[in-house]
């Protein structure tokens, strides 16, 4: 990963410190914690699961009764994923002034805002909670994590719609690569399955009318709304090696671009997405031919999947490396999606398997990709790309390498 780019991109950039992935945390409808999450990715979702809510999540494992009443569900997810990841990483013990948190979200504390608006209408302004603002603000998750850990380095929140989780991880990694931080928790969280959230997405015809997520399928008709959080512990590689850490992967490259085209529709031909993948590969110093797997954004909307498929074809050729979208299982968790999918990508390296694209029955004949479906595919770990593309034209890509490459 480069710490600075030349005027036209990575050419002439300055190589930075290597970035190790040493801890994983995830809260998802597919499972809470990496083990259960992976198991959930490898089996189909419930047929009637029209909303991909996280079940079995007990926030009291991370919050006391008083504190729990003052944190939105999205913050609960963020803290749980981050603390899971830190516990998984072992004795990180960074200098607190050189330890940071960068989390992404799309809408922040939507459920709190919605509930308090109802109270305002029904009971008047004096009954609105004094904790409304700190509960609903988008940066609450990152702030809560840093305060609990006492990490006093950069504490930031990336709000780039459905690319926010990927951007959060990319920005966190850059802090390590530059030497500013010894360790950073990067990720994303979202809890937007609320009446107003569902109504808004339904009325803009973004959601599947059938309630089935079918990434890259001929009959796809929209996404299924999900929720959750994902977090990675990112460390200076040499420091991680010296403390004997288990290193899952190397985050070798990342990039961000904008379509500058439309607030919801991707740019024609996936031009922005293609540019983003190319820049991420250049950041990692890899040719496209070296990539052996792509964890796609793959939302199951007609326009997104077509544009992403065209972008992948432009960069990697036909059929290109094997592709999967885990949104057939997880649904689309908006600002958390890229972080949850980054956890899945790292686990793909660890498990030496590519999880299938649930919901895919008939590949769209206009999509000329090798999309993994049916059952997990055995895979020799190699460089992989994880993509996220969001409303507003935000594009993000990560390049991950097995630790022995």
**pLDDT tens digits, one per residue of 308-355:** 999 999 999 999 999 999 999 999 999 999 999 999 999 999 999 999
378 in a domain, yes or no? yes
pLDDT higher at 44 or 241: 241
Place of tokens 């996220």: 388
6 in a domain, yes or no? no
Separation between Cα atoms, residue 280 and residue 93, nearest integer Å: 30
Q: How close are the terminal C-alpha atoms of the chain, in Å?
A: 14
225 in a domain, yes or no? yes
Place of tokens 């339904």: 202
For residue range 381-399, what is the model confidence (pLDDT) as tens digits?
A: 999 999 999 999 999 999 9
Range of the domain at 85: 19-389
- Token reading at 119: 């109270």
Q: Are 71 and 140 in contact (CB under 8 A)?
A: yes
pLDDT over threshold 80, residue 45: no
The whole-angstrom distance between residue 180's C-alpha and the CA centroid of its chain comes to 23
Residue 382's closest CA among 244, 273, 250, 276? Answer: 250
Q: Are 337 and 295 in contact (CB under 8 A)?
A: no
pLDDT over threshold 60, residue 29: yes
Band (pLDDT 50/70/90 cuts) for residue 237 is very high
The mean predicted confidence, pLDDT, of the chain is 96
396 in a domain, yes or no? no
Residue 33's closest CA among 358, 327, 340, 400? Answer: 340
> 167, 293, 332, 394: which is the annotated catalytic residue?
332
Query: 280: domain CATH number?
Result: 3.40.47.10
Residue 385's closest CA among 324, 296, 294? Answer: 294
Band (pLDDT 50/70/90 cuts) for residue 49 is low
Q: What is residue 86's predicted lDDT score, i.e. its pLDDT? A: 98
User: Got the DSSP string for 326-378?
Assistant: THHHH-B-GGGHHHHHHHHHHHHHHHTEE---TT-SSB-TT--S-B--SS-EE
> 162, 276, 293, 394: which is the annotated catalytic residue?
162
For residue range 274-293, what is the model confidence (pLDDT) as tens digits?
A: 999 999 999 999 999 999 99
For residue range 358-382, what is the model confidence (pLDDT) as tens digits?
A: 999 999 999 999 999 999 999 999 9
8 in a domain, yes or no? no
Band (pLDDT 50/70/90 cuts) for residue 12 is confident
Q: What is residue 44's predicted lDDT score, i.e. its pLDDT? A: 80
394 in a domain, yes or no? no
> 155, 167, 181, 297: which is the annotated catalytic residue?
297
- Token reading at 295: 């964890």
Overall number of domains in the chain: 1
Q: What is residue 8's predicted lDDT score, i.e. its pLDDT? A: 66
399 in a domain, yes or no? no
What is the rounded average pLDDT of the residues 147-159? 98
Active site residue 332: yes
404 in a domain, yes or no? no
Q: What is residue 5's predicted lDDT score, i.e. its pLDDT? A: 82
């Amino acid at each position: 990963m480069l710490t600075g780019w030349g005027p036209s991109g990575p050419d002439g950039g300055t190589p930075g410190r290597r970035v190790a992935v040493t801890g994983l945390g995830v809260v998802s409808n597919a499972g809470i914690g990496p083990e259960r999450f992976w198991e959930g990715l490898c089996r189909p979702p419930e047929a009637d699961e029209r909303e991909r809510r996280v079940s079995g999540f007990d926030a009291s494992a991370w919050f006391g009764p008083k504190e729990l009443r003052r944190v939105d569900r999205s913050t609960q997810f963020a803290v749980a994923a981050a603390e899971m990841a830190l516990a998984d990483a072992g004795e990180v013990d960074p200098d607190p002034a050189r330890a940071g948190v960068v989390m992404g979200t799309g809408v922040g504390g939507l459920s709190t805002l919605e509930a308090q608006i109802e109270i305002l209408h029904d009971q008047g302004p004096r009954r609105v909670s004094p904790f409304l603002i700190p509960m609903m603000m988008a940066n609450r998750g990152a702030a809560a994590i840093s305060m609990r850990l006492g990490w006093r380095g950069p504490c930031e929140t990336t709000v780039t719609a459905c690319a926010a989780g990927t951007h959060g991880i990319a920005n966190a990694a850059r802090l390590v690569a530059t030497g500013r931080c010894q360790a950073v928790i990067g990720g994303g969280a979202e809890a937007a399955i609320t009446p107003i959230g569902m109504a808004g997405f339904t009325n803009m015809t973004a959601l599947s009318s059938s309630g089935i997520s079918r990434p890259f399928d001929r009959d796809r008709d929209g996404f299924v709304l999900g929720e959750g959080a994902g977090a990675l512990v990112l460390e200076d590689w040499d420091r991680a090696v010296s403390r004997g850490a288990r290193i899952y992967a190397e985050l070798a490259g990342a990039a961000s671009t904008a379509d500058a085209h439309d607030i919801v529709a991707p740019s024609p031909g996936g031009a922005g997405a293609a540019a983003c993948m190319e820049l991420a590969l250049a950041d990692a110093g890899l040719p496209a031919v070296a990539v052996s797997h792509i964890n796609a954004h793959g939302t199951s909307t007609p326009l997104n999947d077509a544009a992403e498929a065209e972008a992948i074809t432009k960069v990697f050729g036909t059929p290109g490396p094997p592709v999967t979208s885990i949104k057939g299982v997880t649904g689309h968790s908006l600002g958390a999606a890229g972080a949850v999918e980054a956890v899945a990508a790292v686990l793909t390296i660890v498990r030496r398997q590519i999880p299938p694209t649930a919901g895919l029955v008939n590949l769209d004949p206009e999509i000329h990709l090798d999309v993994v479906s049916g059952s997990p595919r055995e895979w020799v770990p190699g460089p992989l790309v994880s993509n996220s593309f969001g409303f507003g034209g935000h594009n993000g890509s990560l390049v991950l390498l097995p630790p022995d490459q």
